[in-house]
Structure 1
Amino acid sequence: MSDNAVTFMAITGCEDSAMAENFLEMAGSDVETAISLYYEHGPNLGGGANNDNSRAQNNQTTEEDDIAMAERLQQEAYQAQEPRAADAATHERLVGDVFPGTWGGIGGSFNPLHNTEDLIYGRQQRGIFNQRDDMFASLSGSDDETGDEFAGMTEGQRKLALLFRPPFDIMEKVDLETAKRKANLTKKWVLVNIQDSGDFQCQTLNRDFWKSSTVKELVREHFVFVQYQKDSMSGTEYMNFYPFEKFPHIAIIDPITGERTKQWEGVPKVSKWCDEVYDFLNNFSVDPSAANPVVEHKPHVDPNSLSEEKQLEYAIKQSLGKTAEDAVNLDSDEDVDNDDDDDDDDDVDDDDDSLEILETGDSSGPIVIDDADEKAFSAPPKKLTEEQIIASIKPVEHPESTNATTTRIQIRLGDGTRVVRKFDSESPVRVIYEAVKHQFADKVGSKLFTLASQRENLIDKLNLTISDAGLKNASILMDIQEPEDDE
């Protein structure tokens, strides 16, 4: 070891002579430079080949460790047991058979979100006789006056509540679908009663009809009977599928097809109802293999789908107490009074000289009506022609509208004249005819003219508003017809 190396080791405190020689070699045997390199770069710089050898040894060891680990894992995989069998398939019901109106699941049913009273009675104010409290107290099917539903009532209130009490002893407390399934299993029909607690006829039905022992026996033997209020969940669902017009409503439902095979509205007489039900049971069967008669259902009349004339006729007949079926004849567009007119015509003698004598109670002074006068009097009014309608419209000077509903309408004549006027869109189309007759009085006079928009004659829309007729900001063509010259 050289003197420089001894000096280097003494100053730096390095104990490795080989490292000292390396630093001196890199510094060109200059001790000061070698010491500076040592302090700047540390002893690692002088490790040189030793460090390389150390790293090579470490890398080799790591590679050997990786190979050993891979071999070990491979041996463990080959020596592992056979794959376990697949899990057996299981089938579980998410919702079990729970009471109608409750929700099932893991752990069984819990507090119902919609209880059974809501299914049958709805959420409206309790009935005037407080029958809703019977729900669970009457499960035994008894009409006894004892029970929580009569607690706190006076003697008179108790008698009224019992008198108008719903027929809990014969009715099922289930929804309609459950009633169908139960009827299908027991080979019975479904009997449905929809009531309105605000209609006293429904209370009368409970008092007079369902209290009959004959009715009860018939219902128990052949029907699964349910009664719903109109605002209940089941009642609303029924009315959506089976519309009707009058309360109380009674119907027989086929449990298999869901068809409403027979219905009654109002309070039927017990004897008549029983006869009709027995006749029904003789003709219809719940056996799927049986061929039941075809039930003709009366079409439901939607007034909004009728013409304006039919709607007016429908409203008049309804106000007179007629039913919707009598009000509108859906099978024919002819006037409903045509048949009566034909009958009257058949009764008239062909002899023009014949007279009809109407007795007034005094045989000395009968009233004599000529057949010709009678025909003229009883004949329906004739439909006015377009020329007669135009002639009946008087020219009127209408000031231009300044309302918020004002619309501009352009009127074009055949000679190219164009006029733009402002009209109230809520005014009838007749106003346009009146304004045109006044503004073009010199050209129109007594001549026949037509107003058309998009090739549609507006004479049929006289009574519609300008907005309803689709004439907002419209362009109307006015065609004045010249009279034909007589030859």
Structure 2
Amino acid sequence: MSNIEDNIPLFISITNCSDANTAKHYLDMCNNDLNQSIQLFFDTSNGINDDYTAPMTFNTEVLNDFTDEPDVFIPEVQYGGVGGYYEDLRDDDESSLDFEVSDDYNSSDQSDDSDVVEVDYNGNFITKETHEEKLKRMFSKPMDLIFNKGYDITSLKLHAKRRNKWILINIQDTNNFECMKLNRDIWSDPIIKCIIKEKFLFNQFDKTERAGREYLFLYPLNEKVPGIVRKKPTRIINDGVVRDEFGDRLELPVIGIIDPITGALMECWNGGIQDKIEFINELNRFVDHFDNNNPDAIMISDESSNEQAEEEQENKIEEPIHEEMDEEDEHKSVFNKIEPREHEEPSSSVPSTRIQFRMFNNGKRIIKKVSMNDKVRDLFAFCKFDAENFPEGSYFELHLDGSNLIEHIDKTIDEMNLKMSSLTVEFIE
């Protein structure tokens, strides 16, 4: 059995941990179990060092420099709890109330706050957040808006055509604070959420991801802005910064609306959103413009017309969509035939590698050591056996740079060049 000193270089090579003492600390805690120590490293809050950048995380130094929060609406109701709401019992013109005090009341008694808990207006317990947790929540990726089947532009087009929706894409730069402001101020706004969920399929990619690079290649920042519903500013800003005709900085973040049928860029915003109200108005103008001028647009006015609208939509689905649906069914059929199999690490004499499985829904990471001669089918079998992380009966896909590995089920790890790779696990409902 290898000792801790032998495992430290392996630990560092997988986790990008630059400190040998930190590596030794994690190995000590896990009794020199390399797999468990790596898992613990990624699961703990302090387990990612400055050199390691997980997808769509942000520079904490930039976050700590920002202390202001967006305006918070404070309701007028001052009293409430699990039982409901009630108003102040005292009239506005009363300055005091009379209370009967029993003889055994001791004014020196002090209340014990140890059992006092806070609840919100819905009666849910409030958990106090640390500063770090608060920042993480405020600037986190808008998972409730993201269409999780749209892992690249091509898949977004297919699904958007089927649902008769536009595509809305946001490309981010993790080191740019304007990108973080979008998550905090724009994608968290309830009105914007409502518009997007009704009319768009949305996804957010980092500029380093395959889908992000593809977007910037197809729709360069210096390309002319369509300006279908946007209004040009009356005053030109001359601050030495390169801007487009709408006064936007030619830099990330960028937001684009894409036609799922033609692939044309219909509208875009560069450099972030400075006026949230105007952005809401522009989204509404875009939706109204095409709903009113597009004869093929499906307008659902009430519940009674749902069936008719769905029938019209099905009649409009093109042949490639049917092919895509058949492909999905074929993938599920292959997936269902794979039997769960317990994972056993290969011996030291067998060429092997470690593969990281990153859960798309919660960011959790699992690392497994596999033989280079194992097949992609074996990866699915190992995951299926892990009921704790892959619930029984769930259907999931393994992606690498936008490629669905179920399509290469009989190729080996070596043939697919998966050595030391990080696979994205996407659960499909």
Question: Would the TM-score normalized by the shorter structure come out above 0.5?
Answer: no
Larger Rg: 1
| TM-score calculated relative to the size of structure 2 | 0.32
Higher RCO (CA-CA < 8 Å; seq separation 6+): 2
Could you say which structure has the higher helix fraction? Answer: 1
